[in-house]
Amino acid sequence: MTAGGETPSPLLRRHDGGKSLKLAAGLALALAGTAAGCGFQPLLATDGGARGELARVHIEQIEDRTGQQLRNALLLGFPPRDPDAPAAWRLKVTLTESKQRLGVVKQDVATRANLTLTARYALEDAAEGKTATAGEVRSVNSYNILESPYATLAAERNARTRGVRQVADALTARLAAWLSRPRNGPR
């Protein structure tokens, strides 16, 4: 118990006179020093870099309901853009969805399915309108096909939500890595 009557966190208890806490702190400082010495910089650091460039990207509308969900997930993952500043980049995404039934039993009934989301993207320079980089991000999520149509629909919706999040995260990481490349090198 502390002076205020609270039970300290297990992380704050000192069973060895504080040696392990000092060792952990020393190790963390050594790793931070090593990482800083080699030029390591977090990709989405708050002091500019890729994060600052991502804030200059305008995400175009994406067709269909799943496309809207993807755009919303991207907007949540990107730093907010200043509405008064013109966008430096324009992101165009085309999303396709496919289902593949798996796990067929003797009665020729599928018991499992894969839901594949494929996002083809192009990042354009907003001033010139030229494509700066383009590519494809894919996510495959499985779900069970159950006797209840509602349960199957719910499982499919859950797989779609997982897929949208995975595509948004992968696309954000890919664009952040591309935008953080040195400006004087090939982009």
Show the 3-state SS of the chain. CCCCCCCCCCCCCCCCCCHHHHHHHHHHHHHHHHHHHCCCCCCCCCCCCHHHHHCCEEECCCCHHHHHHHHHHHHHHCCCCCCCCCCCEEEEEEEEEEEEEEEECCCCCEEEEEEEEEEEEEEEECCCCCEEEEEEEEEEEEEECCCCHHHHHHHHHHHHHHHHHHHHHHHHHHHHHHHCCCCCCCC
Maximum distance among all alpha carbons in the chain?
69
Pick the residue with more confidence: 112 or 10?
112
Comparing 11-20, 76-85, 151-160, the range with the smallest average pLDDT is: 11-20
- Residue 182: predicted pLDDT: 76
Task: Tell me: pLDDT of 18 over 60.
Answer: no
Task: Tell me: pLDDT of 87 over 80.
Answer: yes
Instruction: Output the pTM of the full model.
Output: 0.71
Both ends of the chain: CA-CA distance in Å? Answer: 57
Q: Residues 13, 14, 20, 23: is their CA dihedral positive or negative?
A: positive
- Residue 11: predicted pLDDT: 45
- Residue 84: predicted pLDDT: 83
For the chain, the structural domain boundaries read 50-179
Instruction: Name the token pair of 128.
Output: 């010139």
- Residue 85: predicted pLDDT: 82
Question: What is the pLDDT confidence band of residue 13, given thresholds at 50, 70 and 90?
Answer: very low
CATH class for the domain made up of 50-179: alpha beta
User: Can you tell me the distance from the alpha carbon of 182 to that of 75, in angstroms, rounded to the nearest whole number?
Assistant: 25
- Residue 12: predicted pLDDT: 43
The whole-number average pLDDT for the span 90-98 is: 97
- Residue 83: predicted pLDDT: 80
Residue pLDDT, tens place only, 25-83? 555 555 555 554 555 455 554 455 677 889 999 999 999 999 999 999 999 999 888 88
What's the mean pLDDT when you consider all of the chain? 80
Give the CA-trace dihedral at 157, 162, 166, 169, to 10 degrees.
Answer: 100
Gyration radius of the chain over CA positions: 23
Yes or no: say if 171 and 94 are a contact pair by the CB < 8 Å rule: no
